[in-house]
Structure 1
């Protein structure tokens, strides 16, 4: 009688090194620790007291842990405030696993270097150059400018312009998909105008759908078009990642509860991810000032009131993000 081969062990790249995937606990899968509008760190009228920033973030991370959180994913990417040495110290002091990300986007925040400005009009950077850039941050460690490389990025994150994906952003998406395909690290895709079309771009690079999460699917346009169910049916993860926000662009939490229960009833509970897109500290732009534990403290109780089971909630908050972030352990 033959026995099944044991499952290959998986780990998650955190700023303090690989962590067994089953130790992540509840994951806030799309948040921002320090979010800096590129260039704001050099502005004379913006205070950039690193000790104060650290203290503020540590308090928020400890509150997240007290609420039941285990892991926070900082999905700001490469040049929007990511501070890997600070995140290492925050993780040690708070006991929260921190997954930092590589990636870029949207185009208007790339900077001229990535637009090959020596030509007019500037053509997109080749997808392969984006792929190499992101792959090195996973295999060799994330860049700390002019200092060194540190721990490996645990996610590739990229975004398009809300008015519609540009040629440069398509190149960016393709490069990110190639890096995800070749390293095993998942890709977080924040769509522009058409989530299914943007998903098609990355799947065209032979990236398995279950290594992709499409974010922002609690936007009103996405919900009205039925995009969350359509994308889940294709095998990708769907992120309702503005929990706690209701504005002209996003549905309310009550509508999110209805959407989650409908998706679970349709058999897509294994594809749902929740987060609040909270900003711990923002410089140069307004913060989305929500607790990192917002999903745990305010939204999960609403799901329970809507008769979602504890198993359903655990699947969404623990199992789904764990499966998304996990990569095969090095032997």
Structure 2
């Protein structure tokens, strides 16, 4: 199920990278807090979920969107048959991801293997787990494997990288390197340090997208410029979120403009971390189309032209997602 350098793995199979169109690189379709599906007050009505997500995806397409990347990884509600049906019904390409993290969201199976004393899973075990979801297809529990994942996604603990987080990062980097897909890392407390771990595995910097770089703490530390300077992709992935922990959209637009003028226009990616349907945690109210309808006008008002915008929304994610 591997793809060549001009294709991207979607839930309906490999498609030419040039057909992706506008890409939103870090979203969630169905997001289920691990274990929430077993709670007495949680319902998973598949027909209702389908209709809600289909409406959101059609809105995205109506405003010029082409591809949604569901970057939630393996165990947060990923439903590959549902995503296949949604892609067919709406015409939106959907790229699903493999991967896990951070440590606090892992199941006990991955945290306490039967060793004495208990130790985190080694990086090679995570690498094998993730790589098989790309080369053999994503697991549908108790049933089968489906199409290949198009991205490896992981995250470090917000308060600082743990030993298990490092194992995850290294395993994810090895899987990406072995299969040719890209790696998405939601950084913890040290964006450059987390990036350094995966680069230490030999993964080229331009194959790594570092998320969370529109957090206030990341911006205060100069992380967006530092990550761009190291050659990795800078992901501002909370466009539309305006709270104490993140930039406002106006501040994000200033940051994007500054990065473009500093020569880093080819390293910027945008997304909203929007959740189509959430179970066990609050959903975001941000539509998948927010970047197109509300944020792009802020960029053009600051002097970015159509070529700049197309590069950020189309060319950059296309180059990241194309399997190498």
Q: Structure 1 length normalisation: TM-score?
A: 0.95
Aligned residues of 2:113 and 2:121 also touching (Cα < 8 A): no
Match of 1:240 among 229, 236, 243: 236
Match of 1:196 among 192, 196, 199: 192
Q: 1:5 matched to which residue of 2?
A: none
1:312-331 paired onto structure 2 within 5 Å: 312-328=308-324
Any idea what the Cα deviations from partners look like across 1:173-225, whole Å, max 9, x if unmatched? Answer: 00000000111100000111000000000000000001000000000011111
Q: Structure 2 length normalisation: TM-score?
A: 0.98
1:1-331 paired onto structure 2 within 5 Å: 9-119=5-115, 122-328=118-324
Any idea what the Cα deviations from partners look like across 1:32-56, whole Å, max 9, x if unmatched? Answer: 0000000111111112111100000
> What's the Cα RMSD here?
1.0
Distance in 2 separating the partners of 1:117 and 1:144: 23
* Cα shift at 1:134: 0.3
SS of residue paired to 2:263: coil
Any idea what the Cα deviations from partners look like across 1:138-172, whole Å, max 9, x if unmatched? Answer: 00000000100000000000011111010000000
Q: Which moved more, 1:121-130 or 1:231-240?
A: 121-130
* Cα shift at 1:9: 4.9
SS of residue paired to 1:18: strand
SS of residue paired to 1:327: coil
SS of residue paired to 1:100: strand
* Cα shift at 1:249: 1.1
- Moved segments of 4+, more than 6 Å: none
Q: Which moved more, 1:210-219 or 1:119-128?
A: 119-128
SS of residue paired to 1:288: coil
Aligned length: 321
Distance in 2 separating the partners of 1:309 and 1:222: 27
